[in-house]
A and B are shown apart, each in its own frame.
Chain A
Amino acid sequence: MNNKDLNILHDFNILYLEDDENLLKHTTDVLEDFVNNIYAVKTVNEALDILLNKKVDVIVSDILLENENGIDFLTHLKSKNINIPTILTTAHTDTKYLLDAIKLKVENYIVKPINIKELLNSLHDILLPIVQQKELIKNNNVIKTISAITDSKQVEIVKFIINNLDNENLFIASYTDIMEEFSISKPTLIKLFKELAEKNILVKVQHKTYRFNESSLENL
């Protein structure tokens, strides 16, 4: 748990479908500390109601419900084109459920008794890409905003350098190449490289070869 940043869960809403009242209560008690909202429901109808009215990021569902079936519930959602990542929990290790689960492309399949760490990790794994996606969009926006208010040429060149790094984080190019690419004056370019070298971001290794020092960014 400590390996992963479970704090990212704080922003998400979870729908928890489980027919055993005790288990529902106690699991909810644990999960609610980690997430924004947990909707604990006992029946498929309640779950559908929640899905209609609330924003749900992940569904955690039992397979064997009272008179109902979690698989059927998921199939129903799929047919309505609702694609929400799902974790199935079940007391059964039956392969027939497993096959159905694979066909429905559920994210994970947890055998009861539930290991809460496994559940949390699983939730983290599902939500991490979403968080990262958000982060990426945010950063992009930051860069775009910065480039709008500062010299846009310099931003372009930095982008060019980072985009042209090879596997060993080496940038190979001459000033002439860059000047041909961008209509920029040589003094401005030299000044930029100098500045980057001072901050230990782009260090000259040999002629025309520079190393991009990623770790130095942390210290800025």
Chain B
Amino acid sequence: MKNRFNKILSYFDNLSFKYKTSFLVFIIAGGMICIVILSQISIFTIKGDFDILFDKRTKSLIKLENIKDTYKVNIQDTLKDMEQENITYNQAKEVLQLAQQLINKNWESYKKEDSIKNDEFITSFIKKFILKDENIDENIILKENIIKNINQKMLQIKSKLNKININDKRDILSQLNLEINAISIYITSLINYDLSIAVNEKRNTQKVFNTIIIFSIFSIFIVFLFSVILSIIIIENFKQLHNTLELKVDEKTKELTELNNYLETKVSKEVAQNRKKDIIMFQQARLASLGEMLNNIAHQWRQPLGTITMIIQSFQIKMSLGKLTDKYVDEKVQDALLLANNMSNTLDDFKNFFDPDKVKSKFEIKNCIEHSIDLSKYLLTKENIHIELVVKDNMKINSYYNELSHVFLNIISNSKDALCSTVDKDDRIIKIIVNKYKNQAIINMLDNGGGIPSDIIPKIFEPYYTTKYKSAGTGIGLYMSKQIIEKHMNGSISYKNIVHKIKDNKNYNCSLFTIKIPIDSGEINEQ
């Protein structure tokens, strides 16, 4: 039993939520309908019973009572009056006839009412179902007998009354009295019988009522029980659902945090990688300019080296010819030392150039630019580029000398490339103009290389952007320049295309780089 119950419960548990709720709704609705139907039935049953009791029993009883009264009062009294001759025979006859008519009428209506069957289907069905027709059969026979007797007696009284005449009224009258008494007894027993039936029916009604009440209470209880059970199951289901949902949410949250962590580490990794890339990029840029610089060093060294070699050999030659004089040796050694010193300076220049500045230093901006021009002189002369430096305001600034020089070199190199690819050998000009505006040193660097196409201008300061063939540029120079000027020196660098009379009052399409570097105010005062 318990097993089965558990089975059913588990079956319900396993039902999907949708079925459970619809089942609950079904149960509640079904229960409600049941209860409503039952209450309706009981009300109708009771009402029907009441109607029957009133109509069939009470009314018929009244009619029987009337018949009895008519016999007793009208007929017996009239007969008595006639006997004592208080009334005339004809009068009596008339009264008797009237009484008989009344009796007939009442009797007929009684029989009629009695024969009316209870034809309400439901109530009779339920009654049949509940009462199972206990002792009604014999009672009906009894009743029929009584009614038969009454009919006989009535016919006898009728015939005797018709036989009444003025002559021998005593006999007939006494007989009639007896008959009337007998019929009174019959009618009384019929009344009793009807009453007993009424009582019986009343009891039946009570029974039906009780049964229905019990049934409805029972069904209410069952509906209530089912509802509670289902509600509990559904609440359990809710809880379970809630739990699983919570579990799922927890799981997803965990997944999300994991993903978040992963992303975080990835982002930090990427950032680190980016930083590394930046460093590599700067190194690349440094290497690229190193290559360029090496060319410069090589050329700047080659000439004095050749001369020194020549001087050394000249000693040998002169000696072999016997022409090696003190004066000659002095002169040549002097020259050789000078050259060697120059070579050493060149080396220092380049070495400093590749040494990153760790501290700011005071220097004249003019010197820095001149130095940068010197460093790139070899390439500029080789490409026949004329470089012009106009210093309107020379000033000392407090900044990173080598880095700034790097920037100048980058831009000069950029201009050089532009000039080489676009301009005739005779017209290649780079012009550098230095002046002061408020607290800033402004360096304008122009070249007549035709400028940069306007759709490219926004990209020129981006890393790895290059218009040159792969071998010619790394695409880092201007990016690095911007980084140096903006991040290290708090300055700014910008570019635009202009038209400028750079030479011979002729208009040229020029590119213009403008570098603004703040002058350390303390340094100006010192100056």
Residues of A within 8 A of B (CB): 1, 20, 22-23, 26-27, 29-30, 33, 66-67, 91, 112-117
Secondary structure of the A contact surface, majority rule: loop
Q: Which residues of B contact A67 (CB under 8 A)?
A: 381, 384
Closest to A29 in B: B314
Q: Which residues of B contact A117 (CB under 8 A)?
A: 313
A23 to B: closest C-beta gap in Å: 4
Check A33/B317 contact, CB under 8 A, given A66-B381, A67-B384, A112-B302: yes
B429 to A: closest C-beta gap in Å: 15
Contact A27 B310 (CB under 8 A): yes
Whether B460 sits at the interface, judged by CB under 8 Å, is no
Whether B192 sits at the interface, judged by CB under 8 Å, is no
- A selection of 28 A-B contacts at a CB cut-off of 8 Å is A1-B320, A22-B303, A22-B335, A22-B339, A23-B307, A26-B311, A27-B310, A30-B313, A33-B317, A33-B318, A33-B323, A66-B381, A67-B381, A91-B299, A91-B302, A91-B306, A112-B302, A112-B306, A113-B302, A113-B305, A113-B306, A113-B310, A114-B310, A115-B313, A116-B310, A116-B314, A116-B317, A117-B313
Q: Which residues of A contact B318 (CB under 8 A)?
A: 30, 33
Further contacts, 16 of them, CB under 8 A, given A22-B339, A113-B308, A113-B309: A20-B303, A22-B304, A26-B311, A27-B310, A29-B332, A30-B314, A33-B317, A33-B318, A91-B302, A91-B303, A91-B306, A113-B302, A114-B306, A114-B309, A114-B310, A115-B309
Bound complex: CA of A116 vs CA of B339, how far in Å? 19
Q: Which residues of B contact A23 (CB under 8 A)?
A: 303, 306-307, 310
Q: Which residues of A contact B310 (CB under 8 A)?
A: 23, 26-27, 30, 113-114, 116
Bound complex: CA of A144 vs CA of B309, how far in Å? 50
Q: Which residues of A contact B1 (CB under 8 A)?
A: none
Contact A20 B320 (CB under 8 A): no
Contact B314 A26 (CB under 8 A): yes
Q: Which residues of B contact A20 (CB under 8 A)?
A: 303, 306-307
Q: Which residues of B contact A91 (CB under 8 A)?
A: 299, 302-303, 306
Q: Which residues of A contact B302 (CB under 8 A)?
A: 91, 112-113
Q: Which residues of B contact A30 (CB under 8 A)?
A: 310, 313-314, 317-318
A25 to B: closest C-beta gap in Å: 8
Bound complex: CA of A14 vs CA of B318, how far in Å? 19
Bound complex: CA of A94 vs CA of B381, how far in Å? 19
Whether B321 sits at the interface, judged by CB under 8 Å, is yes
Q: Which residues of B contact A29 (CB under 8 A)?
A: 314, 332
Q: Which residues of A contact B314 (CB under 8 A)?
A: 26, 29-30, 116
Q: Would you list the 8 A-B pairs with minimal beta carbon distance, nearest first?
A: A113-B309, A116-B313, A113-B306, A22-B307, A30-B314, A23-B307, A26-B310, A91-B302
A41 to B: closest C-beta gap in Å: 17
Q: Which residues of A contact B303 (CB under 8 A)?
A: 20, 22-23, 91
Interface digits, B331-374 against A, CB 8 Å rule (1 contact, 0 not)?
01001000100000000000000000000000000000000000
Residues of B within 8 A of A (CB): 299, 302-311, 313-314, 317-318, 320-321, 323, 332, 335, 339, 381, 384
Bound complex: CA of A67 vs CA of B383, how far in Å? 9
B295 to A: closest C-beta gap in Å: 12
Q: Which residues of A contact B304 (CB under 8 A)?
A: 22
Closest to B315 in A: A30
Contact B332 A26 (CB under 8 A): yes
Closest to A113 in B: B309
A92 to B: closest C-beta gap in Å: 9
Q: Which residues of A contact B339 (CB under 8 A)?
A: 22
A189 to B: closest C-beta gap in Å: 52
Bound complex: CA of A91 vs CA of B320, how far in Å? 28
Bound complex: CA of A27 vs CA of B312, how far in Å? 11
Q: Which residues of B contact A115 (CB under 8 A)?
A: 309, 313
A72 to B: closest C-beta gap in Å: 13
Bound complex: CA of A82 vs CA of B339, how far in Å? 37
B395 to A: closest C-beta gap in Å: 34
A117 to B: closest C-beta gap in Å: 7
Bound complex: CA of A30 vs CA of B320, how far in Å? 12
Contact B321 A33 (CB under 8 A): yes
Bound complex: CA of A32 vs CA of B311, how far in Å? 14
Bound complex: CA of A67 vs CA of B321, how far in Å? 37
Bound complex: CA of A114 vs CA of B310, how far in Å? 7
Bound complex: CA of A26 vs CA of B314, how far in Å? 8
Closest to B298 in A: A91
Q: Which residues of A contact B384 (CB under 8 A)?
A: 67
Bound complex: CA of A23 vs CA of B339, how far in Å? 11
Q: Which residues of A contact B335 (CB under 8 A)?
A: 22, 26
Closest to B336 in A: A26
Closest to B302 in A: A91
Closest to A118 in B: B313
Among B306, B318, B339, chain A packs the most CB atoms within 10 A around the CB of B306
A118 to B: closest C-beta gap in Å: 10
Q: Which residues of B contact A116 (CB under 8 A)?
A: 310, 313-314, 317
Q: Which residues of B contact A113 (CB under 8 A)?
A: 302, 305-306, 308-310
Q: Which residues of A contact B332 (CB under 8 A)?
A: 26, 29
Q: Which residues of B contact A112 (CB under 8 A)?
A: 302, 306
B291 to A: closest C-beta gap in Å: 17
A83 to B: closest C-beta gap in Å: 28
Bound complex: CA of A27 vs CA of B313, how far in Å? 9
Q: Which residues of B contact A114 (CB under 8 A)?
A: 306, 309-310
